[in-house]
Structure 1
Amino acid sequence: MTKLTVVELKLLVREPGSMFTILLPLFILVIFGSSIPPGDTVLLPMTLAIAVGLVGLYLVPTTLATYRERGILRRLSTTPVRPRNLLIVQLLLQLVLAVTACALLLAVAGTILGAHLPTRVVPVVVAFALGTAAMFAIGLLIAAVAPNGRTANGVGVLLYFPMAFLAGLMQPADKMPVILARIGEYTPLGAFRQTLQDVWAGASPNPLLLGVMAAYAVIISVAAAKFFRWE
Structure 2
Amino acid sequence: MTAATTSAARDHRPGRARSVTRRLLTHELRLVARDPFTLAFTLAFPIVAMLVVGGAFGSEPAHGFPLNPSHWYIASYFTVMIGATGLVLLPVHIASYRERGVLRRFAAAGFPRWSFALAELALGLIAIAIAGLALLVVAAPVYGVPAVQDPVRVAAGMVVGAVAFVSIGVLLGTLLPSARAAQAIGLLLYFPSLLLGVGGPPTFVMPPGLRAVAEHLPLALVNQAIRDPWLGLGEGTVPLAIVTAVAVVATVLAVRRSSL
Instruction: Give the aligned residue type for 2:24.
Output: L
For residues 245 and 92 of structure 2, what CA distance do their matches in structure 1 show? 24
For residues 224 and 4 of structure 1, what CA distance do their matches in structure 2 show? 17
- Which is higher, the Rg of structure 1 or of structure 2? 2
Per the alignment, in what secondary structure is the counterpart of residue 116 of structure 1? coil
**Counterpart position of 2:95:** 65
- Tell whether 2:67 aligns with 1:37: no
Q: C-alpha offsets along residues 75-109 of structure 1, whole Å, 9 cap, x if unaligned?
A: 11122433532332122122111111111112222
Instruction: Give me the CA root mean square deviation.
Output: 2.2
Deviation at 1:127, TM superposition (A): 0.9
Deviation at 1:43, TM superposition (A): 0.7
**Counterpart position of 2:121:** 91
Equivalent residues in 2 for 1:3-152 (5 A)?
A: 3-20=23-40, 21-34=42-55, 36-37=58-59, 39-40=68-69, 41-82=71-112, 84-152=114-182
Deviation at 1:26, TM superposition (A): 0.9
Stretches of structure 2 lacking an aligned partner (at least 5 in a row): 1-19, 61-67
Equivalent residues in 2 for 1:204-219 (5 A)?
A: 204-219=234-249
Identity %: 29
Deviation at 1:169, TM superposition (A): 2.2
Contact 2:121 2:167 in 1 (8 A): no
Greater CA drift, 209-218 or 48-57? 209-218
Contact 1:168 1:190 in 2 (8 A): yes
Instruction: Give the aligned residue type for 1:37.
Output: S
Aligned length: 230
For residues 140 and 5 of structure 1, what CA distance do their matches in structure 2 show? 14
Deviation at 1:184, TM superposition (A): 2.1
Stretches of structure 1 lacking an aligned partner (at least 5 in a row): none
Contact 1:144 1:228 in 2 (8 A): yes
For residues 4 and 24 of structure 1, what CA distance do their matches in structure 2 show? 28
